[in-house]
Amino acid sequence: MAKRYGQHQTETQVDCEWATLDVVIHWTFDCDDYQDIVSIEKITVGDRDLREGWNVAYFEDIIQEEVLANEDYHWTDHGDI
């Protein structure tokens, strides 16, 4: 599986008690000698950075589960239509 190290942006929706927000997660995928590292740089709604005060681990989980876990998936590999 090819690793795509570098800076990335992922659009997602976040459900809060009072609203559903369209956010963009700005993140970096890097590695050290032992493991891959995901670093959340900022979380934006429009042009506002809302990273402070948010549970950054929640956004790291989104990247791990929804982006990195499926990075080698392509619908032609499985005959999906």
pLDDT digits (tens, 9 = 90+) for 9-23: 989 998 888 889 899
3-class state of residue 59 by DSSP: helix
Q: Between these two residues, 25 and 51, which has the higher pLDDT value?
A: 25
For the entire predicted model, the pTM comes to 0.74
The pLDDT score that the predictor gives to residue 41 is 92
Q: Between these two residues, 29 and 75, which has the higher pLDDT value?
A: 29
Domain range summary for the chain, segments of one domain joined by +: 6-73
36-80 pLDDT per residue, tens: 888 999 999 988 888 887 888 988 888 888 777 765 545 554 444
Q: What is the largest CA-CA distance in the chain?
A: 43
Closest CA to 63 of 23, 34, 27: 27
The pLDDT score that the predictor gives to residue 76 is 53
Between the alpha carbon of residue 19 and those of residues 13, 31, 74, the distances in Å are 10, 35, 33
